[in-house]
């Protein structure tokens, strides 16, 4: 009877074990254990963007001080400020992109309607 093999693209939790410990348990190389247990780059980038937006919202929208924000997220005050600044820049870029998209589609619609 054949057992079902796990997908080579699946990600596995190694809990609190290091990659070296996981590799020893599985009988593979340390790099293989890292590959099996790591998140994809897009997933990691999205998680970081969500974290920056949460910091910005906690400080700006909820009105907490930088000290309270740093304590809440268990980060240094300067780290929290940097991440909030970057989140604000990202939001401004998104709004600008939306506005350009609306302007472009509006002009295109008017040109097609007149033409």
pLDDT tens digits for range 57-94: 999 999 999 999 999 999 999 999 999 999 999 999 88
Q: Please give the distance of CA 86 from its chain centroid, rounded to a whole number.
A: 13
Note whether residue 4 is domain-resident. Answer: no
Q: Nearest to residue 79, comparing CAs of 51, 57, 50, 43?
A: 51
The pLDDT of residue 49: 96
Q: Quote the CA–CA distance of 106 and 96 in Å, as a whole number.
A: 15
Q: Quote the CA–CA distance of 26 and 71 in Å, as a whole number.
A: 39
Note whether residue 94 is domain-resident. Answer: yes
Give the confidence band of 17 by pLDDT, cuts at 50, 70, 90. Answer: confident
Q: Quote the CA–CA distance of 87 and 94 in Å, as a whole number.
A: 11
Range of the domain at 64: 41-114
pTM: 0.62
Note whether residue 16 is domain-resident. Answer: no
For the chain, the domain total comes to 1
Note whether residue 46 is domain-resident. Answer: yes
Note whether residue 96 is domain-resident. Answer: yes
């Amino acid at each position: 009877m054949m057992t079902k093999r796990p997908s080579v693209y699946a990600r596995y939790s190694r809990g609190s074990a290091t990659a070296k410990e996981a590799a020893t348990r599985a009988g593979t190389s340390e790099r293989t254990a890292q590959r099996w247990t790591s998140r994809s780059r897009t997933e990691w980038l999205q998680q970081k963007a969500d974290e920056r937006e949460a910091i910005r919202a906690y400080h700006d929208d909820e009105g907490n001080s930088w000290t309270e924000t740093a304590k809440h997220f268990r980060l240094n005050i300067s780290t929290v400020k940097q991440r909030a600044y970057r989140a604000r820049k990202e939001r401004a870029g998104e709004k600008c992109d939306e506005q350009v998209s609306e302007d472009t589609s509006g002009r295109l619609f008017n040109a097609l309607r007149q033409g």
